[in-house]
Amino acid sequence: EDKVVQSPLSLVVHEGDTVTLNCSYEVTNFRSLLWYKQEKKAPTFLFMLTSSGIEKKSGRLSSILDKKELFSILNITATQTGDSAIYLCAVIPRGSTLGRLYFGRGTQLTVWP
Amino acid sequence: NAGVTQTPKFRVLKTGQSMTLLCAQDMNHEYMYWYRQDPGMGLRLIHYSVGEGTTAKGEVPDGYNVSRLKKQNFLLGLESAAPSQTSVYFCASVSPGLNTEAFFGQGTRLTVV
């Protein structure tokens, strides 16, 4: 049973559109939730979220966490073809006895010119 | 900073051959992970380690073994490679005591023929 579920699994949009990617999780007592962007190589870090309701923003990307409802969203405004990638969500559990780093399956975003 | 380094970057094996993938990190991280990534499957955890001398199974451990003899190194072994192990392998590390993201190696593309 997946601990981290991302939706949609794939998304195709045109340049200029705004997209919202979803990440829901079942891990309680976690330290942080992470968003990564993966193009052809290793995932690159986007955001780390630890507190509910505080938006993290970087350019056209933003993300927020809801610890009560156990989900996070990643927003991309004014999409560009360079945003085409797999976006991964991960949860790092808290505590030394919990070593698991849970990833979702990712959302494949394709942005057409 | 080197961060997380994986070797080799590419490898082609014949069915039945063995090999070892090396992951080295210079950030003094306690936790290290081996993932495989296949199209549409996201990152699946093979094995992980929460400290020197300790290892644990992840979601897809069959056919793989690991060792963490030194804190900075995490080795992934394939004793008898099978075509089903054709994949891209990623190593990651994180420090549970620090509020930072997980760091990834650049990946190893393995083809078993």
Residue range A2-49, pLDDT digits in tens:
688 999 999 999 999 999 999 998 877 777 889 999 998 899 999 999
Does residue A53 sit at the B interface (CB-CB below 8 Å)? no
Contact between A101 and B104 using a beta-carbon 8 Å cutoff: no
Rounded distance between C-alpha atoms, residue B54 and residue B75, angstroms: 12
* Interface contact A101-B40, CB threshold 8 A: no
Is pLDDT above 50 for A74?
yes
Q: State how beta strands A85-93 and A71-76 pair.
A: unpaired
Between A96 and B14, whose confidence is greater?
Answer: B14
Is the pLDDT score of B18 beyond 70? yes
Q: Which of B26, B66, B27 is nearest to B49 (CA)?
A: B66
- The Cα B30–Cα B52 span in angstroms is 8
pLDDT in tens, B37-89: 998 778 899 999 989 999 999 889 999 999 999 999 999 999 999 999 999 99
> How close does chain A come to B46, measured CA to CA in Å?
11
Inter-chain residue contact A90 with B56, CB threshold 8 Å: no
